[in-house]
Structure 1
Amino acid sequence: MARPKRQDARREYLVAAARAAIVRRGLAFTRVRDVADQAGVATGTVTYYFRELDELFDLVFAEAVSRFCTAREEEVALREDPVLQLACVLRTGLPTEPEDELCCLLYEFSPQARRRADDASLRRQLYERQVALYRKVLETGAVAGVFDLRSPSSEIAANLVALEDAYGYHVMARTSMTRAQAERHLFGYAALACGTPRLLSAAGH
């Protein structure tokens, strides 16, 4: 890897190296030396720009909010049909593949939320914003007469986010669940919960 010279670019380069090292070795086993080796620099260079690996937590969750909340909200706003809105949200809540770096990092960092109040707050904000997005789509569809919700919107929304997390874990862990299977299960539950068989035909759109 060619090493950048400007300070901002150097820091971004080291953050990328730290992310890659954590994905490769796991958070519990990653040390400054691993980041330095990944970046091809001395350990002192890493500690000058990047004193704590925990600094990654805020950066990872900021990217997660951008991808799993902001980007999905913007995509929903481009569609008028609640079925297509819900299909869009469902499709974009899972890892793209087992090597999806951002999702790998989220699963690495999540256990810290039990021990650190700031980290738990970030995780809670991400979860609550995802639930709120699902609720908005579900309630919009119900008001329009497109959805016949079989449970309260808050319950369906929470279940969908929980299913995303659970299925996403199995995709990342390479168990018997593939991404395609996880997506089918998500769409299947949502179609039943919303009383909307048409959602299944929107799965590939």
Structure 2
Amino acid sequence: MSAAAATPPPGTRQKPAVRRALIVEAARGVILRDGLGATRLRDIAAGAGVSIGTVTYHFASVAEILNEVVVLETARFYSSIIEAVDAEPDPVVGVRMLVDPLFAATDETDEHWRLWSDYWTAVARKPAVAAEYVERIRVWEACLTRTLRRGVADGRFTTADPSALALKLAAYSDGLATQLAQKAPGLTSELALQWMCTFLEHETGASFTG
């Protein structure tokens, strides 16, 4: 549901949690439309149908709102995937279930990586921005670690340190996604996924193709 569709009629008084959710939803749309660097509190307020004062009552800055946008995006993009992976008995299938959506040629995936790109930029400038949100936004990596550990326990994977490998894979996927967003010559979503599978095979000793 868009922020516009969710905005109640004028004069309707909303609960604080509802107003906060409207602001985060609106911020997502504004950031995707204008980019983080061009996003201002007044733009978010307009998108949410609230005053700037309402926005600043809930959030001190655009960077703080961005944290909540990324938490929302993480939940939307990964929640159902992670639930399915945790229920999947085959760790090889589980890893593919985590990796494949990252390189799907869809608008949803494109928007996902655009938001993350803005977030990385914000964190690089001010690392403290993400400090309290780490566990809430690194859920893909945490699920991958669990899945790799199951594979090691089952004798399917040979990696000695599943958590370190999960971090490597997160870094590699982030890099590939960045190159895709920058339209790197010759790189496609299909090729990026192929490279991820090759990397996985090298690191785990299992086959992720075919």
TM-score (norm 2): 0.74
Match of 1:186 in 2: 196
Structure 2 SS opposite 1:184: helix
Would the aligned equivalents of 1:82 and 1:141 in 2 still touch at CA under 8 Å?
Answer: yes
Structure 2 counterpart of 1:111, which letter? T
Structure 1 counterpart of 2:196, which letter? L
CA shift digits 1:160-181 (9 cap, x unpaired):
1111111111222232322222
Distance change (3 Å), C-alpha of 1:68 and 1:121: farther
Structure 2 SS opposite 1:4: coil
Match of 2:120 in 1: 110
User: C-alpha distance in 2, partners of 1:69/1:122?
Assistant: 19
Distance change (3 Å), C-alpha of 1:123 and 1:175: farther
User: C-alpha distance in 2, partners of 1:11/1:122?
Assistant: 18
Structure 2 SS opposite 1:200: coil
Structure 2 counterpart of 1:184, which letter? Q
Match of 2:154 in 1: 144
Shift of 1:18: 2.5
Shift of 1:134: 2.1
Shift of 1:189: 0.8
Q: How does 1:23-172 map to 2 (within 5 A)?
A: 23-35=32-44, 45-51=50-56, 52-67=61-76, 70-94=79-103, 97=106, 100-116=110-126, 118-122=128-132, 124-125=134-135, 129-149=139-159, 152-172=161-181
Match of 1:4 in 2: 8
Structure 2 SS opposite 1:62: helix
Distance change (3 Å), C-alpha of 1:23 and 1:128: closer
Structure 1 counterpart of 2:195, which letter? H
Number of matched residues?
195
CA shift digits 1:127-151 (9 cap, x unpaired):
75443322221221122122233x5
CA shift digits 1:3-60 (9 cap, x unpaired):
4224356654443333222222221222244445656x5xxx3413312323422312
Distance change (3 Å), C-alpha of 1:65 and 1:181: same
TM-score (norm 1): 0.76
User: C-alpha distance in 2, partners of 1:188/1:126?
Assistant: 29
Would the aligned equivalents of 2:67 and 2:133 in 1 still touch at CA under 8 Å?
Answer: no
Q: CA RMSD of the aligned region, Å?
A: 3.0
Distance change (3 Å), C-alpha of 1:120 and 1:36: closer
Which deviates more from structure 2 when the two are superposed, residues 27-36 or residues 156-165? 27-36
Would the aligned equivalents of 2:63 and 2:122 in 1 still touch at CA under 8 Å?
Answer: no
User: C-alpha distance in 2, partners of 1:12/1:65?
Assistant: 15
Would the aligned equivalents of 1:61 and 1:123 in 2 still touch at CA under 8 Å?
Answer: no
